Structure 1
Amino acid sequence: MRTTRTRVLGAVAASLAVGTLVTACAGGSAAPASSSGRDGTVIIGTGATPQTLDPILASDVQTDFTVGGAYDKLVDYDDEGAIVPLLATEWSYNDDATAVTLTLRDDVVFHSGNPLTAADVVYTLDRIASLGIGVSSFLSSYASSTAVDDTTVEITLNGTNTTFVGALSKVYILDSALVSANEGDDQGQAWLATNDAGSGPYAITDYTANQQATLERFDDSWRFDEQRPDSLVYRYITESSTLRDELKSGGVDVVTGLTGTDLDALASQDGVYPQELSSMLQLFVMMNTQGGITADPKVREAIQLAYDYDGHISSILGGRGDVATGLTAPSVSCRVDAGAAQQDVPAAKALVSEAGAEGETLTLAYQSQIPEHQKAATLLQSNLKDIGITLELQTVTYPEYVAMIESPETTPDLALLWDFPYYPEIGPMLFRVYDSQFIGRTNYAQYSNPDVDALLEQGIATVDPDAACDLFTQAQELILADDVSVNISNPTTTVMLRDGIEGLEYAPTYQLFDPKMLVLAD
């Protein structure tokens, strides 16, 4: 879609294997009873069903949402978009930002009882780099690391990268002794798929894939809080209407992922209340720029013009969100605002005719367990029929989709997905999704533009933040002009909670919410 109005926003406050497990952990002390009557237990209903508990795949919303309470990070971001210490108390770059030195806390123990040392950080980072999956896409600058002593880690980068410490906010540190003892021949992937090797405020004590996970409060956590529930139970329920009914009947206490219709149905429900959270989430249709008729920019622009954006906001989101205006949500600094996309069916038909694409068939991959995705897929199917294109729908899990994009030949013509900066800096997100070196990994559209590559790579290596922002701005304008994606919506994150459960606030690195924030009222 050709942009007719662009402006750059300045710095803005940063407003996804069957089995069970039991891990060694310290038990929780008594906590106040929840209003549901389950003493000290909060049950979370969610459609964000993880395919694995291995925190290397915390790049997936589904995995991150479950494991986030069981692991600790080196750093995180606060609700103003500033980096804050967690396991790392201090950090410093060398003069040209090609190396980073971290100082660690000395009072952290894993759920196994093993103490955290610098060796655990080195093991975790080396494992991520070796496997090259999941969060490795955030650590492309990582070369090596060394444990200087028990509380000091020196990290060497393969070039200048002033955003590297921010990327560590997506890395969960592993108990290296425990994982090493269970590595097998896949560097512990099979074992970690159903087991816990963290030091977080909760320990995963029971897990049945696609059904339920139980996390017990770990009272030896360095950040113990007696107001946290004794346990969190995740129930994986994909139907929004079922989640709604379970909340009404008392089967769950906290719900995320409800449709607008079901949120409206709960508006007058006694004993529950909504909590609206800011989000960096955005819904896209990514188009395969190297295969089939979507390799033609005219077809891509036609698909953009065909979509009913206003209908999406009003009918699918129930008014809880906005039409997307760029490649990221407005809460992200240094983004180009291209204006809200608008439907124009006659113009879309004309482009389809010019491209000779009338009567063609496309395939859309989407995650049917996510209500917004399911409804958007059906709406797009209807919209494309109106311009002479047949759309076949293919349901996938996120890991299945990741496998599909490993080559242009298996990449679907179109794919519905949420994406976002995993931490509040736009450059790494643009680099991960649009630089051609990530084709086959996180470049969903198989997109290649040498000018974009050069701008992004120079921006990542630029120390001056204003100069880096200028480079990222130029890259965004080129990407928008190439019609790579249909930028659909910025949905509001609405969580429904039972009375007596509170504590949720905007957490920039958690796309649903941070479960560690939940507390029971006195």
Structure 2
Amino acid sequence: MAPARLRHTRTAATVLAAGLLLSACAGAAQQTSGGGSGTTAATRDETVIIGTGATPQSLEPAIADEVQTDFTVSSMYDKLVTFDGEGNLVPQLATEWSFGEGAASVDLTLRDDVTFHSGNPFTAADVVYTLDRVKRLGLGVASFLSDYESAEAVDDTHVTITLSGPNAAFVGALSKLYVLDSALVAENAGSDDAQQWLATNDAGSGAYELSTYTANQTTEVARYADYWDYDEARPAQVVYRYITESGTLRDELTSGGIDVATGLAATDVTALESADGLRVESLPSMLQLFVMFNTQGSGITADPKVREAIQLAYDYDGHIASILQGKGQVASGLAAPTVGCRYDAGPTEQDVARAKQLLDEAGAAGKSVTMVYQQQIPEHAKAATLLQSNLADIGLTLDLQPVTYPEYTAMLESAETTPDMGLLWDFPYYPEIGPMLYRVYDSQFIDQTNYARYANPEVDELLESGLANPDPEAACQQFVDAQELIVDDHVAMTISNPENSLVLRDGLAMTYDPTSQLFDVSTLVTQ
């Protein structure tokens, strides 16, 4: 018997609340409402300036499922658990954890030496408050914690979490939850559960506390002197400069205006490899570029032969050589090679003759398909153009529609608005493949996060049983079996695994954190 179906927060709620938060962020520089350490302004030598295109719409930690928000707020907040560079679950604010009978509850033991930036002590009550708030808001990271039912503070250092059903992967999901200073947030709750206040303020216990925030321009954070894991090697101050143009990032690096850059185009990374005083560092990445096919629409992508034809038409080697400048590899499955329990289907190879044959068999030659893509992302824009050219070679017309990611997720809310194809990056938000597969391919998330409107009862049963299975090896095999079925159904066109290339000034180093799609700023140190 399959386990009870797990619940999920609707994408519509995420998009709506994110829009409200965006409007709350606009404006001049904001200063945090009090810090506990009394830090003073740092000199330029004590400051690291990061240039990044990851511009947050808000500092609200509840929406840290978005890379843009997560990159900035991760330095200001702590999590209960995290993952090390080898993908092992390790303590942070929680020192121990265990599942109750049937993996339907979790007991946590907490640190007793942590203070928030306000000076308030961290206790179990803060964990309960944070979990309850995420559930109430139903946005962002709530999608990882959909099985959360309730929590009880047994005492100051012990919490019992009750789940709505068995979920042996739940503790891993806590690596995406930033714990709030409940007393401070409650004081500023207003009528929106403190969403507007947290959009420009800091209520964390992390390695850095907020100094100033100017929406769409800069965020400045200062090293927290009373941090429980204090490290003097961390820069005294970190400044985020939000720069979306790769050429500007390149020029700022060479002129000394910034010390670290993320989001550089592959050509600019290559150009900086020989620059004096700079070095390129490629971190492991779980990122993968996909085209997701609408498998249930009235268009031609409902036919698996058409989906396979489109997959075979693409110039994968050209993508790696030209678009990524060799900084990546052709994808070989539904998850990157850095992710455990993946099914390796082997890289897809271009076969134009076979693609034409399949298209003829489907009676689709000469027809049109529509694909949405994020034009502002260089890899996406170039891949969309390349695919358009490749499909013309086999007799298909590809109509391209630029959208933002929130616009795309809104389109998924009904069969009528879901496009034939969607080009996007996707990845496990932490190094466990089951929750990602469940989110993207389980049929209960059609109209939500199931981009392909894909329904396969056998896949559903494998994914849901795998998540509830307390035996890691058995669960892993269930996830592998589900991936093989999904690949055979040609649900997704897996394109590339781009490298996560950063450029740093000499004398700086960082530790790889698999829960961060860019890097965890709190691991940045001077050598």
TM-score in same-fold range (> 0.5): yes
Evaluate the alpha carbon distance shift between residue 30 and residue 290 of structure 1 in structure 2; reply closer, same or farther with a 3 A threshold: same
Say which SS state the counterpart of residue 39 (structure 1) adopts.
Answer: helix
- In structure 2, the residue matched to 1:112 is 118
- In structure 2, the residue matched to 1:55 is 61
> How far, CA to CA, are the matches of 1:369 and 1:41 in structure 2?
30
- In structure 1, the residue matched to 2:275 is 269
Evaluate the alpha carbon distance shift between residue 366 and residue 100 of structure 1 in structure 2; reply closer, same or farther with a 3 A threshold: same
Q: 1:450 aligns with which of 450, 453, 457?
A: 457
- In structure 1, the residue matched to 2:443 is 436
The alignment status of 1:508 with 2:517, answered yes or no, reads no
Say which SS state the counterpart of residue 406 (structure 2) adopts.
Answer: helix
Q: Please say if residues 228 and 516 of structure 1, whose CA atoms lie closer than 8 Å, have aligned partners that are also in contact.
A: yes
Residue 478 (structure 1) shift: 0.9
How far does the alpha carbon of each residue in 1:201-242 deviate from its partner, in whole angstroms, 9 at most, with x for none? Answer: 112332223222222222122122111112211122222222
> How far, CA to CA, are the matches of 1:358 and 1:212 in structure 2?
50
Q: 2:30 aligns with which of 21, 30, 34?
A: 21
The alignment status of 1:395 with 2:402, answered yes or no, reads yes
- In structure 2, the residue matched to 1:123 is 129
Q: Please say if residues 194 and 207 of structure 1, whose CA atoms lie closer than 8 Å, have aligned partners that are also in contact.
A: yes
Q: 1:326 aligns with which of 312, 333, 338?
A: 333
How far does the alpha carbon of each residue in 1:465-518 deviate from its partner, in whole angstroms, 9 at most, with x for none? Answer: 12112211111111111111111111121110011222x232111111111111
Q: 1:366 aligns with which of 373, 387, 404?
A: 373
The alignment status of 1:96 with 2:105, answered yes or no, reads no
Matched AA of 2:258: V
| Correspondences of 1:279-298 after superposition (within 5 Å) | 279-291=285-297, 292-298=299-305
| Correspondences of 1:343-362 after superposition (within 5 Å) | 343-362=350-369
Q: 2:479 aligns with which of 472, 475, 479?
A: 472
- In structure 2, the residue matched to 1:75 is 81
| Runs (5+) with no aligned partner, structure 2 | 1-17
- In structure 1, the residue matched to 2:11 is none
How many residue pairs were aligned? 500
Q: Please say if residues 29 and 219 of structure 1, whose CA atoms lie closer than 8 Å, have aligned partners that are also in contact.
A: no
Evaluate the alpha carbon distance shift between residue 490 and residue 127 of structure 1 in structure 2; reply closer, same or farther with a 3 A threshold: same
Residue 128 (structure 1) shift: 1.9
Q: 2:226 aligns with which of 203, 220, 225?
A: 220
Matched AA of 2:416: E
- In structure 2, the residue matched to 1:199 is 205
**Mean CA deviation greater in 353-362 or 129-138:** 353-362
Q: Please say if residues 507 and 513 of structure 1, whose CA atoms lie closer than 8 Å, have aligned partners that are also in contact.
A: yes
Say which SS state the counterpart of residue 102 (structure 2) adopts.
Answer: coil
The alignment status of 1:177 with 2:183, answered yes or no, reads yes
Residue 357 (structure 1) shift: 2.9
Instruction: Judging by fraction of residues, say which structure has more helix.
Output: 2
Matched AA of 1:294: T
Q: Please say if residues 511 and 524 of structure 2, whose CA atoms lie closer than 8 Å, have aligned partners that are also in contact.
A: no
Q: 1:386 aligns with which of 393, 396, 401?
A: 393
Q: 1:148 aligns with which of 154, 172, 177?
A: 154
How far does the alpha carbon of each residue in 1:77-118 deviate from its partner, in whole angstroms, 9 at most, with x for none? Answer: 111221111111111111321111111112222222222221
**Identical columns (%):** 66
Normalising by structure 1, report the TM-score: 0.91
Residue 30 (structure 1) shift: 8.3
Residue 414 (structure 1) shift: 1.9
- In structure 2, the residue matched to 1:5 is none
> How far, CA to CA, are the matches of 1:470 and 1:134 in structure 2?
29
> How far, CA to CA, are the matches of 1:355 and 1:192 in structure 2?
53
RMSD between aligned alpha carbons? 1.9
Say which SS state the counterpart of residue 334 (structure 2) adopts.
Answer: coil
**Mean CA deviation greater in 353-362 or 413-422:** 353-362
- In structure 2, the residue matched to 1:44 is 50
> How far, CA to CA, are the matches of 1:440 and 1:132 in structure 2?
16
Residue 27 (structure 1) shift: 4.3
Evaluate the alpha carbon distance shift between residue 30 and residue 177 of structure 1 in structure 2; reply closer, same or farther with a 3 A threshold: closer
> How far, CA to CA, are the matches of 1:398 and 1:27 in structure 2?
39
**Mean CA deviation greater in 114-123 or 438-447:** 438-447
How far does the alpha carbon of each residue in 1:44-80 deviate from its partner, in whole angstroms, 9 at most, with x for none? Answer: 1111222222222222211111111111000011112
- In structure 1, the residue matched to 2:321 is 314
> How far, CA to CA, are the matches of 1:411 and 1:233 in structure 2?
39
